[in-house]
Structure 1
């Protein structure tokens, strides 16, 4: 695939990183919007974002917020190579031991099943067939 302006051919990993970054931004924006519309302070969204950050799946954006909320900068969060690998592993329904390692590293902050479920949700955003499969179950 050629770059839009430079003619540079992006290696496959770079293409996936760009796609994953777009997926991540969509999810974080959705979490922020859902929290705002529900009238609740986005504690669950913050928790999800912190889990991803602590697991090394995203880089923390600048701290933002109103009324001293101290929320992470959702829109500026960037996916890491480790995060992209985790998404790829889940997309391919491959080795989930990577996810287990992230959960172990987090200790009591989240159970393996909680983190696995959230990462699978993240992966489904980029894979319409996975979303269809989850609706069938």
Structure 2
């Protein structure tokens, strides 16, 4: 269980339709990851011109890991990504299309001890096959 800070106007959507909204997570993350990785700058938080509400929520581990990975790389909060995801979901033309991608988050500790912490993280997307239950292996897309 965790919480996200959302503008008051969209918090009810998240409470009632979270699972449906998270069905767009891969599409949203692929769009978000078109931006540049940001380093050496302060983290950005939600900037809506209204009040905010703390909403308790549960994510599947892979959902949260993928959101946290992108948020850390883009130097934004997970809450701001969730807000942008809701804004994407609110566009009727976006909801007409079935999800066509799945994602896999992976973290490999290279060195993790009192002298150093070196981790390799990756978030890989690949297209769902026609039956929408099986995924093509990502290395087939990456290597051809």
Same-fold call, TM > 0.5?
Answer: no
Q: Which has the higher strand share?
A: 2
Task: Place the TM-score, normalised by the shorter chain, in its bin.
Answer: under 0.3
Under a length normalisation based on structure 2, what TM-score does the superposition of the two structures give?
0.25
Normalization by structure 1: what TM-score? 0.26
Q: RCO higher in 1 or 2 (8 Å CA, sep ≥ 6)?
A: 2
| Greater Rg by CA | 2
